[in-house]
Amino acid sequence: MMRIESAPISPGLPPDRWMPAEALPASGIGEGGKVVLISDHDYRTPRRANMHPIADALVRLGYDVTFVSVRYSRLSMLKGDSRNFLHDNANAPELVNNVRCYLWKTPVHPINLRHSFLNALSAPLYKLYARLPCAFLDEELKVANHVIVESGLGAVLVRRARALNHSVKISYLASDELVTVGVHPCVQAELEAAARAINFACVPSRRMAESFDWVGERVFYVPHGIEHSDFAAIGESPYEAGDHAVSVGSMLFDPGFFAIAAARFPKVRFHVIGAGQRFEAPENVIQHTEMPFRETLPYIRHATLGIAPYRHAAGCEYISDTSMKLMQYEYLGIPAVCPTFAAADHPGRFGYRPDDQQSIIDAIERALAQRRAVRPRRFLSWDDVARRLLNPRAFADTVL
């Protein structure tokens, strides 16, 4: 595959380091076909969710990749959205690492009002959102060979994609259960209504399969992956001498864990990276702002413990299979402390009951005692994951 030559750009760098999308040649890239990714995330943010390495893998595999970020409007500016630094670049394509990026900004976007009566009133806004004009989105969907829609607001666009392109293969990637991450119930209803438009529903945990009875035999198991090259040369420790615990990410983040753990273990320094909030905590809790993914790796590799401080949410048990932070801890052989619902039966994880002081203390003590006994675990590469998302029927290990 011929690649576009450009500066070595990483997500999170300022816009003046990006190429305008019109620099993409009409041919010479993407001999594998065109893939459109639709997500609540944006490829250019420092925070990397699973859609980011999937996009990179598709480029490596020879596909022309467009990454469309949805659920962004003036409301996002008020909420402190992690994509706000892209505000001035919204509704204009940018080329980053050979991924064509587009942040679709609308005047407003619908949200979960978390009240049954108010949600009933706001439900029609989701159908309106699915029909809002976006020439760029429509043109990309019309010529796509594959569309991958990640769980989130993008689910309401599945039928739009099918209406514009009858031959496209549409994969729905259930990175999370919609109810677990607080998506409006209308989105789940719209997703199920679009069942006939979906070729493949891909779940990263077998525990999620029963939630997809509505799609029949078209549900497949495609776990998250690890980009092995990211871990090849992590670099030196950022820590001083002593024991250090690290937490990375903001999903279902429970600050109460650190109030208990840090007070009981004053000699352990707890590093919290990209929690999405500031919170009161003992002095041995160091709160770091969000940082690019590769910059987090020395903190993980050289930590004594990894922490996954999830709070409980409806249907969250699948996190035991899908937590990327727990996967990274396991890949590097770091003992992990997490709630029992996230620990499941995975070796190297030490479970506790949220808000239970003695349970948290016991989990940390057990993890410290086993710090040198945890064996690294292997995972699929993201290239493997990308291949399975495009055609899961071709792989025997996707069958549920």
Q: Which residues are catalytic?
A: 176
Phi, psi of 336 (to 5 degrees): -120, 135
Could you give the CA distance from residue 245 to residue 265 in angstroms, rounded to a whole number?
Answer: 11
Sign, CA torsion 188/212/253/235: negative
Long-range contacts (CB closer than 8 Å, 24 or more residues apart) made by 228-234: 228/381, 230/293, 230/294, 230/297, 231/297, 231/301, 231/331, 231/332, 234/297, 234/298, 234/301
Largest CA distance in the chain: 62
Edge-to-edge strands, sheet with 285-288: 285-288, 269-273, 244-248, 305-307, 336-339, 349-352
Count Cα atoms within 13 angstroms, Cβ side, for 79. 13
Neighbour tally for 114: CB within 10 Å: 9
- For the record, the structure tokens of 381 come out as 């590469």
Residues in CB range of 333: below 8 A, 6 or more apart = 348, 374, 375, 376
- For the record, the structure tokens of 352 come out as 């506790």
Cβ atoms 309, 292 nearer than 8 A: no
Cβ atoms 374, 343 nearer than 8 A: no
Q: How far is CA 163 from CA 42, 149, 232, 365, in A?
A: 25, 15, 44, 56
Could you give the CA distance from residue 396 to residue 391 in angstroms, rounded to a whole number?
Answer: 11
